[in-house]
């Protein structure tokens, strides 16, 4: 379990590419620098898409976990 407490949480369960990525971008834009977004998604493309997004934009992927049900949990710190 991660020790980072999210500032905001985004539930994208049931949404598929490109919606989780678009909504993540909007949610990150609404945060202040240093704040943390928790993203929950079950889109199989999200693992690669969100990791690539964080790297490309300079945000820090603090935590990634694939859950037993196949969904994913990300914690992303805004740069």
**How many CB atoms lie under 10 A from the CB of residue 9?**
13
Cα angle 71, 74, 76 (rounded to 5 degrees) comes to: 160
Catalytic residue (one of 7, 15, 17, 61) = 17
With beta carbons less than 8 A apart as the criterion, state whether 31 and 59 touch. no
Mapped onto helix, strand or coil, the DSSP state of residue 25 is: helix
- Active-site residue flag, 12: no
Residues serving a catalytic function are 17
């Amino acid at each position: 379990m991660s020790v980072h407490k999210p500032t905001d949480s985004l539930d994208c369960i049931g949404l598929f590419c490109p919606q989780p990525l678009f909504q993540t971008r909007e949610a990150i834009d609404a945060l202040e620098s240093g704040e943390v977004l928790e993203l929950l998604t079950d889109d199989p493309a999200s693992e690669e898409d969100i990791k690539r997004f964080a790297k490309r934009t300079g945000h820090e992927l603090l935590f990634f976990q694939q859950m037993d049900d196949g969904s994913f949990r990300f914690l992303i710190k805004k740069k």
